[in-house]
């Protein structure tokens, strides 16, 4: 199985759009994250830690999550890469069938998540992104342009123990 989605990294008053993709195979069970440089290991352990708290557990599969190479992570500050945490979690849990999302092809998301399960979101500048069948995955009260579809993070993580959307603010990066 394979999936792909888009993530947004705040950069001043605009968003850097990056492609994420992932797949699962029947190899040695585990999770591998590619393209995040030295941040890959910490993100991997965070995703595993959050996943182990879920009652269903993870299937015994090999999961590979990748940040497309069109982004030079060396040019970004470490705190900017943290905005990829929620998109990677959505992608991972979609592949593991822990969230009810089959097609992420036109989905955009952004946000950080702590090991306590607290998610931090911000208002993205969606008006600069072409809305052709685009779906924003974010806070349920997020104001989005009328030509976008919206999936609430509240619905995706419904009944998941320990997850909270804590901060929702407009102009931070």
Instruction: Specify the DSSP element, H or E, that contains 66.
Output: strand 62-67
> What's the whole-number mean pLDDT along residues 136-141?
69
Rounded Cα–Cα distance for residues 5 and 105 (Å): 5
- Evaluate whether 65 touches 1 at the Cβ level (below 8 Å): no
Please tell me whether the overall predicted TM-score, pTM, comes out greater than 0.85 for this model: no
Q: Shortest CA distance to 149 belongs to which of 170, 172, 126, 118?
A: 126
pLDDT one-digit tens code per residue, 47-103: 998 888 777 777 888 999 999 876 665 566 667 888 899 899 989 988 988 877 778
């Amino acid at each position: 199985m394979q999936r792909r989605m888009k993530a947004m990294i705040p950069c001043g008053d605009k968003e850097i759009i990056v492609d994420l993709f992932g797949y699962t195979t029947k190899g040695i069970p585990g999770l591998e994250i590619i393209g995040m440089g030295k941040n890959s290991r910490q993100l991997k352990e965070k995703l595993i830690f959050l996943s182990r708290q879920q009652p269903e557990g993870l299937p015994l599969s090999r999961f590979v999550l990748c940040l497309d190479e069109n982004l030079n992570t060396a040019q970004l500050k470490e705190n900017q890469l943290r905005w990829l945490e929620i998109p990677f979690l959505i992608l991972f849990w979609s592949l593991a069938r822990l969230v009810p999302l089959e097609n992420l092809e036109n989905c955009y998301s952004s946000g950080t998540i702590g090991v306590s399960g607290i998610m931090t979101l911000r208002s993205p500048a969606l008006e600069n992104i072409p809305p052709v069948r685009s779906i924003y995955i974010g806070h349920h009260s997020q104001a989005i342009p009328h030509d976008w579809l919206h999936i609430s993070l509240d619905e995706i993580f419904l009944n998941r123990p320990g997850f909270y959307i804590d901060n929702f603010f407009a102009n931070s990066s």
